[in-house]
Amino acid sequence: GIQVEQSPPDLILQEGANSTLRCNFSDSVNNLQWFHQNPWGQLINLFYIPSGTKQNGRLSATTVATERYSLLYISSSQTTDSGVYFCAAPFSGNTPLVFGKGTRLSVIA
């Protein structure tokens, strides 16, 4: 099945800094999602991005499907951005998501 790897595993940022999180996947995908798990445990959808670039406020994501990676950019980070960021892709077609191990982000004031 597909392998999903994320880096870095941990990241500490000063408020206002920018960061890039990376997700590599071992096989071609027709679906890739980024999630934010907040400190209360909620899994929040950030992007559905099998290819191309999308932006939502201070967050943007780019997936280069041919090279099997996706990037999540966080600009002007805020303390509320803290939590764990997951990327996930299905093993094939219409199947459940395989999650990476996540990047734990701490933004300090």
Partner 1 sequence: DTAVSQTPKYLVTQMGNDKSIKCEQNLGHDTMYWYKQDSKKFLKIMFSYNNKELIINETVPNRFSPKSPDKAHLNLHINSLELGDSAVYFCASSQRANTQYFGPGTRLTVL
Interaction site with partner 1 (CB under 8 A): 30-31, 33, 35, 37, 41-43, 45, 48, 84, 86, 88, 90, 93-99, 101-102, 104
Q: Minimum CB separation from partner 1 for residue 71, in Å?
A: 19
Strand partners, 60: 55, 73
Beta strand pairing status for 103-108 and 10-14? parallel
Question: Alpha-carbon distance 52 to 54, whole Å?
Answer: 7
- The answer to whether 65 touches 50, Cβ cutoff 8 Å, is yes
Nearer to partner 1, 77 or 102 (CB): 102
CB nearer to partner 1: pick between 57 and 93: 93
CB of residue 41 vs partner 1: minimum separation in angstroms? 5
> Min. distance of Cβ 69 from partner 1 in angstroms?
20
Of 90 and 107, which CB lies nearer to partner 1 in the complex structure? Answer: 90
Indicate the residue among 73 and 91 with the shorter CB distance to partner 1.
91
End-to-end CA distance of the chain: 41
Q: Are 32 and 38 in contact (CB under 8 A)?
A: no
Least distance between partner 1 and beta carbon 25 (Å): 15
For residue 76, give the DSSP letter. Answer: S
